[in-house]
A and B are shown apart, each in its own frame.
Chain A
């Protein structure tokens, strides 16, 4: 479960490597605002990072705590 976020980030980087023209930051000259603000591979990376920091880490803590509790109840 903890690898979901990093795996998503890797997916975004692989996409950026396969289709570098989707990352307009590599060649920003002449690009309009939206082409610079919304770059799909970077969105995927961002989703992975936000999910990992905001959801996955806390969830792992709660999962370990639940397992510890279950172990002490036995």
Chain B
């Protein structure tokens, strides 16, 4: 009954897409209107925390090498840290704006983990491409919340970050266990599927 790896990627992509839409809506209407209801204020940090939590079973059941396991463990920890810190900020338990730095930290660590645990080049297979693209998207996307911590009124940064998250969802949705990428596939990758 264990789902294939690509199905797990797609389920996570759906979660990432939902968070991306929430962040985009939040950037459009502004934080004041978004935070008017507590359920909304807690929504995206809560989802971030939950996705970090769900990353643990992925680490235990789906990783097949030490570096793969470490990468998923790092994602779980940094996602939970960023989610918990933003929940604390939304609740008012945490007051220092520097807690917002947990988000760029999580993105940079996750991006680096994507890049480090992919041993093959960009066009080796679809999976390799997805890892490289997702890794660099996260690292470049981390600039938005990083600058946003020090310039919280710049709404363009919020929009940029939301679009980055939606782009990440699209990248993860394109994940396949074995498939070609722009017509390329290493002969060592296995038999391609659609």
**A residues whose Cβ falls under 8 Å from a Cβ of B:** 1, 4-5, 8, 21, 33-35, 37-38, 40, 43-44, 46-48, 50-51, 55-56, 58-59, 62-63, 66
- Whether B3 lies near A59 (C-beta < 8 A) is no
Task: Tell whether, in the assembled complex, residue A51 and residue B21 are in contact, meaning their CB atoms are under 8 Å apart.
Answer: yes
* Interface residues of B, dominant DSSP: helix
CB–CB A47/B3 < 8 A: no
* Cβ A66 vs Cβ B33 within 8 A: yes
**Which chain A residues lie closer than 8 Å to B33 at the CB level?**
59, 62-63, 66
Contacting pair A44 B25 (CB below 8 A): no
| B7 located at the interface, meaning its Cβ lies under 8 Å from any Cβ of chain A in the complex | yes
* Cross-chain contact A34 with B25 (CB below 8 angstroms): no
- A-side interface mostly: helix
**Cβ of A38 and Cβ of B34 under 8 Å apart?**
no
> 1/0 per residue B13-32: CB within 8 Å of A?
11001100110110011001
Beta-carbon contact of B4 and A34 below 8 Å: yes
8 extra interchain contacts, Cβ-Cβ under 8 A, other than A40-B10, A66-B36? A5-B21, A8-B21, A43-B10, A44-B173, A48-B21, A51-B21, A55-B21, A58-B40
Given the contacts A1-B29, A40-B173, A59-B34, A47 and B7 also touching, CB distance less than 8 Å: no
A49 to B32, CA, bound (A): 24
Contact call A55/B29, Cβ cutoff below 8 A:
no
Pair B11/A38 contact, Cβ less than 8 Å: yes
With a cutoff of 8 Å between Cβ atoms, the chain A residues found around residue B24 in the complex are 4
Given contacts A33-B1, A34-B3, A38-B11, contact A59 B17 (CB under 8 A): no
Residues of A within 8 A of B93 (CB): none
